[in-house]
Chains A and B, each alone.
Chain A
Amino acid sequence: MIITHLRAENFLKYAELEFSDLPASGLIAVSGPNESGKSTIGETICFALFGRTYSVKTDAPEKLIRWGQPRCNVSVDFRGKNDHSYRISRYLDAEGTQGARLESLDDGEITLAKGAEHVAAALPGLTGFDYEEFVESFYLAQRELTTPHPHSHALMAMAGIAPLAKIRAELQEANAQDAKANADTASKIAELETRIAELGIDKQRLPDLETTRATVASVQEEKAERLGLLQRLVADYQEKFPAACKARSAQGKARLFAVLFFVLAAVLWGGWAILTQLPDSGVSQQLHAWLANTIPDWQPERVAALLAAAVVATTLFVVSVAVGARQGGHLGKLADHAHELARQLGLALESAGSGIRDPLENVARLVSAPEPEPETNPANVQSSESTEASNSESRELPLPDSVAALRDRATRFDADTVEIKQAVDSIGPVLLNQSMTLKNQVTLVDRAIEEEQQRLREAEELKAMGDGHRDTRREREHRVRVRNVGISLLENASRERSHQFNRGIRSLAGRALPRFTEDRYQHLQIDESLSVRVFSNDKHDFMEFDEISSGTQRQIMLAVRLALSQELIRSTVGGAQFIFLDEPFAFFDEQRTLETLHALPQLSDELAQIWIITQQLPEAAQVDAHIRCSRDTEELRVAAPEP
Chain B
Amino acid sequence: MSSEEQQEAGPSKVVRNPATEFAAFCAAERERRSNADPDFGADVFDEAVQLIVRKLEALNAEGF
Q: A84 touching B8 by the CB < 8 A rule? A: yes
Q: Which of A122, A126, A129 has the most chain B CB atoms inside 10 A of its CB?
A: A122
| Nearest A residue (CB) for B9 | A125
Cβ of B36 under 8 Å from chain A: no
| Nearest B residue (CB) for A167 | B55
Cβ of A482 under 8 Å from chain B: yes
B1, B15, B21, B49: the one contacting A122 at CB < 8 Å is B1
A599–chain B nearest beta-carbon distance, Å = 25
Q: B5 touching A110 by the CB < 8 A rule? A: yes
B3–chain A nearest beta-carbon distance, Å = 12
A:570-607 near B, CB below 8 Å: 570-574
B1, B11, B16, B26: the one contacting A118 at CB < 8 Å is B1
A28–chain B nearest beta-carbon distance, Å = 25
**A478 — which chain B residues lie within 8 A by C-beta?**
44
B:1-38 near A, CB below 8 Å: 1, 5-6, 8-16, 18, 21-22, 25-26, 29
Cβ of A432 under 8 Å from chain B: no
Q: How far is the CA of A262 from the CA of B12 in the complex (A)?
A: 141
Range of interface residues on B (Cβ < 8 Å): 20 to 34
A482–chain B nearest beta-carbon distance, Å = 5
- Determine the main DSSP class of A at the interface with B: helix
Q: How far is the CA of A81 from the CA of B55 in the complex (A)?
A: 25
Q: How far is the CA of A275 from the CA of B18 in the complex (A)?
A: 153
**A129 — which chain B residues lie within 8 A by C-beta?**
12
B16, B29, B60: the one contacting A489 at CB < 8 Å is B29
Range of interface residues on A (Cβ < 8 Å): 35 or more
Q: How far is the CA of A444 from the CA of B12 in the complex (A)?
A: 79
- Determine the main DSSP class of B at the interface with A: helix
B5, B15, B45: the one contacting A574 at CB < 8 Å is B15
A422–chain B nearest beta-carbon distance, Å = 89
A110, A164, A171, A571: the one contacting B22 at CB < 8 Å is A164
B5, B15, B41, B63: the one contacting A573 at CB < 8 Å is B15
The interface stretch among A139-147, A308-316, A490-498 is A490-498
Q: How far is the CA of A112 from the CA of B14 in the complex (A)?
A: 20
Given contacts A124-B63, A482-B47, contact A572 B16 (CB under 8 A): yes
Given contacts A163-B64, A164-B22, contact A170 B55 (CB under 8 A): yes
A47–chain B nearest beta-carbon distance, Å = 21
Q: How far is the CA of A163 from the CA of B64 in the complex (A)?
A: 7
Q: How far is the CA of A497 from the CA of B51 in the complex (A)?
A: 20
Given contacts A125-B9, A493-B22, A493-B25, contact A163 B15 (CB under 8 A): no
**B55 — which chain A residues lie within 8 A by C-beta?**
167, 170
**A492 — which chain B residues lie within 8 A by C-beta?**
25, 29
**A404 — which chain B residues lie within 8 A by C-beta?**
none
Q: B10 touching A82 by the CB < 8 A rule? A: yes
B5, B18, B44: the one contacting A482 at CB < 8 Å is B44
B13–chain A nearest beta-carbon distance, Å = 6
A481, A493, A497, A572: the one contacting B13 at CB < 8 Å is A572
Given contacts A167-B52, A482-B51, A573-B15, contact A122 B9 (CB under 8 A): yes
Cβ of A485 under 8 Å from chain B: yes
Q: How far is the CA of A129 from the CA of B13 in the complex (A)?
A: 9
**B48 — which chain A residues lie within 8 A by C-beta?**
482-483, 485-486, 489
Cβ of A219 under 8 Å from chain B: no
Residues of B within 8 A of A (CB): 1, 5-6, 8-16, 18, 21-22, 25-26, 29, 41, 44-45, 47-49, 51-52, 55-56, 59-60, 63-64
* Smallest CB-CB A-B distances: 6 pairs: A486-B48, A574-B15, A485-B48, A125-B9, A128-B12, A124-B12
Residues of A within 8 A of B (CB): 81-82, 84, 104, 110-113, 118, 121-122, 124-129, 160, 162-164, 166-167, 170-171, 478, 481-483, 485-486, 489-490, 492-493, 496-497, 569-574
> Can you report 7 residue pairs joining A to B where beta carbons are below 8 Å apart?
A112-B6, A125-B12, A128-B15, A163-B60, A482-B48, A486-B52, A489-B52
